[in-house]
Amino acid sequence: AYCWGMFDHMWGNFDPGYGVPPVASDWVRPCFANASGKFYLASSNWPSNTNNKVVTYHLFHHHGDAFQTVYYEVPQNLTVTHPEEITPGTLSMSVTANQGATVCLSSNGAILDVEQSSGGAVTLNFVEAPVGSLLTLTVTKQNYYRYETIIPVVGPPAAATSPSPANNQSMVSIFTGLSWNGTGADYYEVYFGTDNPPSNLLNGLQVTETAYTFAEPLSFAETYYWQVVAVNNYGSAGSEVWSFTAAGEPDEDFETGDFSLHSWNMSGDADWHVVGNAAKHGSYSAQSGTISNGQTSTLAITIDCSGFEKIKFYKKISSEEGSDPLQLFIDGILKAEWSGEIDWSYEQFSSGPGPHTFEWRYTKDANGSGGEDKAWIDFIYFPPTAALAANAGNDTEICEGNAYTTTGFASNHTSVEWSTAGDGTFEDVYALNTLYTPGTNDINNGSVILTLTAFSGTDQISDDVLVTINRAVQTEIGEGIICEQGTVIDWISAFNFASAEWSSAGDGAFDDPTLLNAIYTPGTADVANGSVALTLMLTAFNGCADFSETVTIPVLQIAQIPAMPEGPDAVDVFYTPETVYITSGDADTYEWHLTPVSAGTFASNDQQVTIQWNQEFQGNAELKVRGINPCGISAFSEALVIVVDNSVGIDPFTTGIAIHPNPSNGHFTVTWSPGVKETAEVKITSANGALVTAKKVTVDGTTTLSFDRNLFSPGIYYLTITAKNGTYLKKIVIQ
């Protein structure tokens, strides 16, 4: 009964006595037939057990489209006529198809119009489609194969639209490419340049895509013009001439070779550093420090932002995928992180006005590594600060002969220019970072003022930097010695230095090692070694090279006391008018002294002296000597007492005096044989002239005098006998 009712719904005459026969094409639909079969069963008297009907109601359900139709005959081909193509501006088309067929026109999945065919032509209405559009015509009918075809919109191509960069856009990245929207073109001709109409960089370059990528970055702050001409077999259409202005130089690209351009802060386990082997643009970029598992390396900067512009930068990562990320924090809040192998790619993030801290942190987890274990950043644009600004850099110092690398900074500017108050030259006056070579006047003056001027439209602002030009260290080192008692190091001179520092390889000491001409007092080891190595370190003025040199200096003692002069200690000037005396010692030169000066004259030759005796002098003379070297003068030697006499006119028989023994221990006898009877005075004096004893004796031919040792101490004494015919002296040695 259920099946009879289902079939009767789809083919109305299946049970001629039940219901109203529907149109077959409308009702050969299983969903409605399923419901109709249940109604048919309900109205039937079969089966008598109504519980079986309930089971049937629950057993059959349709899962699917309620309006799905089914084919119940072998399908045939539809007969359809339509245009093969349409032109721009067409808003309708006529299509003929079999009676009851559904005719649909769509584009990119969107239905433009649907009509039911009555066996003749149907009109499909739609909005204008641009050249190059592809319209899909679909015709379906039950028991017929589906008919589907593409109808293109043909004609000259549409002019390119929606340029990127947008027309008149400013601050465009120098790494930009070109893109646009276009339809109906077989290819495009691209014109690009700094001229208008553009042609001096690209002149009709043909591309098939709606984009073009430059092989090299564009120039900073340059205005460019471009146009795209769409071309196909039906003609061509040119766009308007668009323009854009490239962004100026980045706020930070590390091309100074260091972090000196801005106030960067570093933290973590290793500092970031500037490297020259990886860069998005130019030669340098900032690279994270070398860290181990569980460590970090952080680079941060605080910027007082004036508006809602974004911070923009390029990053590169070579690390373990999914771990060891480069992280960006703004005011301590994590904004993004990247890991793995990522080549230079662009990022931008909003911050808002006010001071903000931007922090790039490379972090390693507890284990594992990959790639180079590094991260790099480069080509950074900070959010704009308040106004046009120029900073020529901090006052600095360089050394004569060196060029100065400017460290200028400018913000919110379109161009900059350097100028000098001196006679030097800039490598490029229009570059923030350039070389300045001082002129002769700059060097002679010792300084020069450089001025950086930043321009923005008609506004300009300037700032100065004072470059002090220091002279290089100059030294003159002569030959010198160090004396045991200490010596001023005055045999070295130096100029153009900031500070001095002496050090010794020996055991001596400086009175002040920071003095160029310090006093050095050698130690016992220095004296024993006979020399010492001293090192002078001169710190140059900023920008100049320091000076360091080690010299080995002889260490000398004060000359030793020379030996007592050796030579005759009794001289008869009648027979010996000239005598020679010698000494020994380590002195460089010797100074001889003869007293009294009336005793004679002498000529010395270091350790030897020749005395020319005064023929009129008789008595005791003393000869002594002292040594001289660069470290000083020794004390005098022990004096040699010389008894000087002149025997001319004296009876030789009256001069016979003998002392025995001589030297003695203080007990000796004196025998005098003048040969005549006479009275004489006998005196004994010490070497310094003090009277020891004196006697008057009468001699008749020969006399002997004895002396006791109690009168004498070891030393030199002199015997003087004064008689009628003269005075006679004799030296006595007591041991």
Q: What is the pLDDT of residues 508-553, one digit of tens each?
A: 999 999 999 999 999 999 999 999 999 999 999 887 899 999 999 9
pLDDT band with cut points at 50, 70 and 90 for residue 458: low
CA 28/CA 117 separation, integer angstroms: 19
8-state DSSP, 208: S
Looking at residue 662, its pLDDT comes to 84
What span, in angstroms and rounded, lies between the C-alpha atoms of 356 and 349?
12
Q: In the beta sheet, which residues pair with residue 224?
A: 244
Q: What is the dihedral of CA 583, 586, 591, 596, to 10 degrees?
A: -40
Residue 412 predicted with pLDDT over 80: no
Q: Which residues of 109-148 are buried (b: 16+ CB within 10 A; e: fewer)?
A: eeebbebebeeeebebebeebebbbebbbebbbbebeebe
pLDDT at 231: 96
pLDDT at 242: 98
Predicted local confidence at residue 655, as pLDDT: 54
pLDDT at 28 over 90: no
Q: How would residue 24 be classed by pLDDT, with cut points 50, 70 and 90?
A: low
Whether 198 contacts 212, CB under 8 Å: no
Window from 251-260, 347-356, 719-728 with minimum mean pLDDT: 719-728
Structure pTM? 0.41
pLDDT of residue 652: 46
**Average pLDDT over the chain, rounded to an integer:** 90
Among candidate residues 111, 132, 117, the one with its CA nearest the CA of residue 82:
117
Per-residue tokens: 727: 């005075």
Strand pairing class (482-483; 547-556): parallel
**In percent, how much of the chain has pLDDT > 90?**
63
Between 319 and 65, name the one with better pLDDT.
319
Beta-carbon contacts of 514 under 8 Å, excluding residues fewer than 6 positions away, are 499, 500, 501, 502
Residue 663, preceding bond cis, omega within 30 degrees? yes
Name, in order, each residue with C-beta under 8 angstroms of 410's C-beta and a sequence gap of 6 or more. 388, 389, 390, 391, 416, 432, 452, 454
Using the predicted structure, report yes or no on whether residue 616 has a pLDDT greater than 90.
no
One-letter amino acid for residue 465 of the chain: V
- Provide the 3-class DSSP secondary structure of residue 372: coil
Exposed / middle / buried, residue 478 (Cβ in 10 Å: 0-12, 13-18, 19+): exposed
Count of alpha carbons within 13 angstroms of residue 701, beta-carbon side? 0
Q: Which of 14-23, 259-268, 640-649 has the highest mean pLDDT?
A: 259-268
Lowest mean pLDDT among 101-115, 517-531, 687-701: 687-701
CA distance 251 to 274: 16
- The 10s digit of each residue's pLDDT in 484-514 is 999 999 999 999 999 999 999 999 999 999 9
Task: Report the pLDDT value the prediction gives residue 672, as an integer from 0 to 100.
Answer: 83
Lookup: tokens for 199? 């042609």
Block residue for tokens 């089966």? 47
What domains can you pick out in the chain, each with its CATH number? 2-59 (no CATH), 92-152 (2.60.40.3110), 161-246 (2.60.40.10), 265-381 (2.60.120.200), 389-470 (2.60.40.1080), 474-553 (2.60.40), 570-642 (2.60.40), 652-734 (2.60.40.1930)
Confidence of residue 650 (pLDDT cuts 50, 70, 90): very low
Nearest to 658 by CA among 666, 669, 647: 669
Q: Rounded CA gap, 83 and 92, in Å?
A: 11
- Pair of tokens at residue 115: 């009509």
Count CA within 13 A, CB hemisphere, residue 439. 11
Give whole-number Cα distances, 490 to 301, 501, 719, in Å: 52, 15, 54
pLDDT tier, 140 (very low <50, low <70, confident <90, very high otherwise): very high
735: tokens are 């041991």
